[in-house]
Amino acid sequence: MGPCSPSALSPFLSPGDRDTANAINHIGGVPVWELAKGLLAGGHEVSVSTLDARAASETVELAGPNLKISIHRARPRAREFLVDNYRRERGLLAQSIRDFKPDIVHGHWTYEYALGALDAGLPCVITAHDSPFTVVRHFKDAYRVARLLIAQQVASRTDHLSAVSPYLEDRWKRQMRYPRQIEVIPNSAPTDMPELLREPAANPIIISIGDAGRLKNIRPLIQAFASVRLLMPSAELRLIGPGLGENDEICLESQALGLDEGLRFLGLLDRPAVAREFASAWLVAHPSLEEACPMTLLEALGAGVPALGGHRSGGVPYLLDWGRQGWLCDVTDPRAIASCMLEIVSSGPPQPKPGRQEFLDTNFSIQAVTNKYLGWYRDVLRAI
């Protein structure tokens, strides 16, 4: 149970359902569909139950050999679903899983999907993908506070919890006061990115994938790049993601401050376009202030593009092997970011760190992560 775009699993569906799945591509949920792919590749039967506020009907059912996908229409307004603790959504999720009769239920994120998984009344595990208290600290609004209260319900009800990084394990033990063992199983590197030969551009190209929100911390990166540009006039910083288009506020703000030289605001790109950006990039700069297990860095590792991130940015040091598979700096300080970027690109296109492929295969490949989850499932079932 979790957010999951059916289009990502369309190759596993019957021909009649593939077109329907490919038309529903906006739900997200990379960790969920990657795990489903890994389980299907191992010959397991998998049911995915997800929610979509824009679903055309109450429930859409898709199927293929060993795969069932149930897409339930969710209420679109927080004031509707938070007031009754996702009662309607939880009921739809739980019933679809009971109908499938699985050996084990896996709820992703510690909110409505986890509650639905627990409500099914079957052997159940939950994976935390964020730190609810930390989210509230960064986004001080009633919606996040309500979600924190839901996560506390989940913490009190589940005996089997995993976290996607050691950092997140620590947050759940310290902030959520979770008293039982927490398995650490990371997200896997996405397999939907087209594999392109890496051919770094002639001039330094730095890319950053995020959004315009405060947590992704793009503004200090832009300030840092202005210093890089003074010493390397041919350098480019390409920004990818929602709110990072050429007509968006952060672009207009950069122009007004005279910081737009060498900047390219690309906005949202499809996966093939992102793959092309990785192929030509010298460096991925990921200035996010806090993330549990960022997919951007997993993509960079998979594409063989050197990356920098924050030395105190949650799970970022874990993904970069505490600096052995990337560079770490203080991403709250534009001067520190600039110094790190210059160190990396000043002598030409940097090479991936030694041992990158082994590190990726051992820890974050779809096979490695799926096997870790399967081992955990078996341990839980044996303990029942």
- Residue 290 CA to residue 135 CA, distance in Å, equals 9
- How many other C-beta atoms lie within 10 A of the C-beta of residue 339? 16
Helix or strand or coil: residue 32? helix
Contact 241, 270 (CB under 8 A): no
Q: What pLDDT is attached to residue 54?
A: 87
Report strand pairing: 205-209 vs 283-286. Answer: parallel
Nearest Cα to Cα of residue 383 among 180, 186, 128, 184: 180
Report strand pairing: 59-64 vs 67-73. Answer: antiparallel
Contact 143, 78 (CB under 8 A): yes
Q: Could you tell me which residues come within 8 angstroms of residue 127 by beta carbon, excluding any fewer than 6 positions away?
A: 31, 106, 107, 108, 109, 161, 162, 163, 164, 185
Place of tokens 């009190």: 156
List every span in the chain annotated with CATH 3.40.50.2000.
6-188+365-383, 205-354
Contact 119, 94 (CB under 8 A): yes
Contact 225, 287 (CB under 8 A): no
Contact 292, 168 (CB under 8 A): yes
Helix or strand or coil: residue 207? strand
Q: Could you tell me which residues come within 8 angstroms of residue 329 by beta carbon, excluding any fewer than 6 positions away?
A: 308, 310, 311, 336, 337, 339, 340
Record the tokens describing residue 277, joined without a space: 């950006």
Q: What pLDDT is attached to residue 133?
A: 95
Record the tokens describing residue 199, joined without a space: 């051919």
Q: What pLDDT is attached to residue 335?
A: 98
Q: What pLDDT is attached to residue 170?
A: 98
Q: What separation in angstroms does the CA of 315 have from each of 107, 284, 293? A: 21, 16, 5
Nearest Cα to Cα of residue 352 among 258, 290, 273, 281: 281
- Residue 384 CA to residue 382 CA, distance in Å, equals 6
The second-level CATH assignment, the architecture, of 6-188+365-383 is 3-Layer(aba) Sandwich (3.40)
Kindly report the pTM of this predicted structure.
0.95
Given a cut of 50, the residues of the chain with pLDDT beneath it are none
The second-level CATH assignment, the architecture, of 205-354 is 3-Layer(aba) Sandwich (3.40)
Contact 206, 338 (CB under 8 A): no
- Residue 313 CA to residue 328 CA, distance in Å, equals 9
Q: What pLDDT is attached to residue 192?
A: 85
- Residue 124 CA to residue 159 CA, distance in Å, equals 9
Q: What pLDDT is attached to residue 374?
A: 98
